[in-house]
Amino acid sequence: MYHLLLLLVTAAAVANDLPPSCNRSIYCDSELLHHVQLARLYPDSKTFVDLHMRDSEEVILTDFQKLLNETSNPTKEQLQAFVDKHFDSTSELENWTPHDFNENPSFLTGIRDEQLKQFAKDINGIWPGLGRKVKSQVFENPDRFSFIPINHGFIIPGGRFTEIYYWDTYWIIEGLLISGMKETAKGMIENLIQLLKTVGHVPNGSRWYYQERSQPPLLSAMMSLYIRETMDIAFLRNNIKALEEELSYWLDTQIITFDKEDKSYMLLRYFSPSNGPRPESYYEDYNSGLSFTSDERKQEFYTDIKSAAESGWDFSSRWFVDNNGSNTGNLTTIHTKDIIPVDLNAIFANALQNMAYFQALLLNPLRAAHWAYLAKQWRNNIEAVLWDEADGVWYDYDLPYKSHRKYFYPSNVAPLWMGAVSKGLIRKRSARVLNYLENSHGLDFEGGIPSSLIRSGEQWDFPNAWPPLVSIVVNALEALGTDEGKKVAFHVAQTWVRACFKGFSVNKQMFEKYDAEVPGQFGGGGEYKVQSGFGWSNGVVLEFLAKYGRRMTSHD
């Protein structure tokens, strides 16, 4: 019944015309986008929407309509000539070296193993190569770019990702602070707040085609990292309103009320209901959508694809729901919006608690009490809906099937990472959670913790191991507060650092993801080739070396 209701709501949304992916027609909602992407002018669909316009949008669309009138269906050569005439591939960015970069940050002295110390120094040395600043012409002619101008220099993830990405920035900031680059970290937060004020929320990334979707809401957690390191209360005071606006966005747009065992609960899900395929993956989404016969089902698919991209896990069996409710299938069985995710709600509970803390720091007790009450409500709902007493862990919850999705994903322990569990419950459950992790076989691999144990071919599934997920598990194990938990946390962290060290020794670069079965080998799968750089990979290695450097070794 619930699934039928969702379909009816989606059909109504299609009938009422969902908004386009953004308000820049050329990049998000035009015949030009459709023709260029389906003609496959570029192997990577992102290439076209990252080009900037030589002429105004009006001129380009008028000229393209003339081309359509003349040819009806332009050839690939005609489309290429049109794009070459009207678009420019010159980067909107210029290289930027952060002024607070230090070749020998103080944390290096805490690393005893000489090889790991050099590895840490090499990783620290990558930051300037990832530094970028927006060129002046983007500010002068913002309507001609898909890039949303931001004022401060920033660290990009790397490879094809030449813009800020929301959740990546959390681990980048963590690494920057370890490297002593407080001003650069502050500028990164200021950029996200500027995007929030421009778009109405922090978008997936600093491109207009990401306008209608966000990513895991870690902005307050980033601010918490920065405040803990600097106690810059003036900066917090100047931006507290924006931080509250970010939380209000999620409460206004992503909240869902549902019943479980005759009780009503509110939690968050990922939900990005904009019209059509993702502009940066238009070709892929459009062709996947051809398998659906009705426009309503096709649009539901597009919404679920975008919602999965909003989660950061694009794509994974985590979002697949086949006819019996299991996580088998492929992208055609994706139902992201029907799932209540553990990590999203743990992150949000933490964000609410952070806001209570921030308001207390600013001596606003009534506002602090408001957010503390919501935080407690969120923790209670996570406990009631997502905790599985039989298995001793938290699971995603399937709304139509009204059941836990009992599969191994590192996100299952996110409530511990985000402090969304009371100390009393942690003491009560620590042995059971540790037992779950050890029996899951997710910790058995020499190349790191895989994002799942399902070999689906998607990049957020086995055998790929992603740095943020390894960081989540290590911090969750530490949060158990037991000697055994700390012992396993150290083992997982050392296994990861050794694998990355091995890969770096061979390739002289870091990658966005790795192969859990082959230590140091980069991962695969997904819609694009593995990317090097890499922002969050650097941050997580530095996190582990700063935390465990005194006893971590490069080899047994």
Angstrom distance (rounded) from CA 261 to CA 384: 10
**Bridge partners of residue 93, in order along the sequence:** 134
Most distant CA atoms of the chain, gap in Å = 74
**Distances from the Cα of 413 to the Cαs of 127, 321, 388, in angstroms?**
30, 21, 12
Please return the burial class of 549, using the count of CB atoms within 10 Å of its CB with bins 0-12, 13-18 and 19+: buried
**Kind of pairing, strands 393-394 and 93-95?**
unpaired
For residue 478, give every residue at least 6 positions away whose Cβ sits within 8 Å of its Cβ, in sequence order, or none: 485, 486, 489
**Bridge partners of residue 397, in order along the sequence:** 340, 404
Kindly report the backbone phi and psi dihedral angles of residue 549, in degrees, each rounded to the nearest multiple of 5, phi listed first: -60, -30
Residue 107's identity, in one-letter code, is F
Query: Which residue has tokens 């998000």?
Result: 28
Residue 393 gets which letter from DSSP?
E
E strand intervals along 279-391: 339-340, 387-388
Residue 242's identity, in one-letter code, is A
E strand intervals along 149-285: 154-155, 255-260, 263-268
Structure tokens at 464: 């790929």
Structure tokens at 291: 């398998």
- Spatial contact of 436 and 476, defined as CB atoms under 8 Å apart: no
Residue 161 gets which letter from DSSP?
B
Structure tokens at 15: 């009938």
Give the three-state DSSP class for 92: coil
Q: Is 556 a catalytic residue?
A: no
- Spatial contact of 390 and 431, defined as CB atoms under 8 Å apart: no
- Spatial contact of 443 and 489, defined as CB atoms under 8 Å apart: no
Q: Which of 29, 300, 512, 515 is catalytic?
A: 512
For residue 203, give every residue at least 6 positions away whose Cβ sits within 8 Å of its Cβ, in sequence order, or none: 148, 166, 195, 210, 211, 213, 214
Q: Is 314 a catalytic residue?
A: yes
In the Cβ-directed half-sphere of 167, how many Cα atoms lie within 13 Å?
Answer: 20
Give the three-state DSSP class for 553: coil
Q: Which of 310, 314, 343, 458 is catalytic?
A: 314
Kindly report the backbone phi and psi dihedral angles of residue 340, in degrees, each rounded to the nearest multiple of 5, phi listed first: -95, 110
402 Cα distance to chain centroid: 26
Angstrom distance (rounded) from CA 271 to CA 264: 20
Kindly report the backbone phi and psi dihedral angles of residue 94, in degrees, each rounded to the nearest multiple of 5, phi listed first: -125, 150
- Spatial contact of 56 and 244, defined as CB atoms under 8 Å apart: no
Supply the residues annotated as catalytic. 314, 512
